Structure 1
Amino acid sequence: MADAAAGKRDYELLAGLPDTFAHDRDGQAVNVFRLYTYKGGQYSHRLLLLSRELRYALNVLAERSPTPSPTCGDVFHRAAEAGLPQ
C-alpha cells in the first residue's frame, strides 16, 4: 500500500482526488498540495521529500501493526459479546 500511495507522481495523485470533501480541512490540504505541484521549483522538491517521508512512515506503521486483521469469526464473536443479534 505504501508503494502504491507514495510511488505515484504528483499529477497521478491529483487525478484520483475527489472534487468535494466531507471536511473543509481535507479540501484545504488538497488545495495546498495542488498549489505546490503546479508551482514547481523548490515546492516540487518539498513534495518529493514529503513523498519519501510518507513512504517511510507508512512502511513503519505497517510493520508495527500489533494485531492481525479480524476474521469473520472474530467479528461474530465480538457481536455476540456485545449482545448484538446475529
Structure 2
Amino acid sequence: MQKIKSYNNFLLNRKDRIANLLHFARTLDVKLPTLDQPNISAKGVYTRLTDENWWLRRLRKAHGKKLEQKIFNPASCIIVKANT
C-alpha cells in the first residue's frame, strides 16, 4: 500500500511539474511539442520539457522570432523623406 501511495504522489508531483513547465513555456512563447504529432508520447513531452538543451534551442528560436518581428514591423520603421 505504501508503494502505491508513493507512486501516486510521484505522479501528482510529475503532473504539477509538467503543468508548471507548460505554463512557463507559454509565457515565453516557446513552441511546445504536442501529442497530436506523430512519434511523440507523454514521456517524450516530459523528457523534452526537462531537458536543458531543448529549452536553450526553443528559447533561441522564440527570441529570434520576436526580434525578427520587431525589426520587420512596418510600424517600428522610421521613414525619412529626402529633400527634393
TM-score by length of 2: 0.32
**Relative contact order (C-alpha < 8 Å, sep 6+): which is higher?**
1
TM-score by length of 1: 0.32
Larger radius of gyration: 2
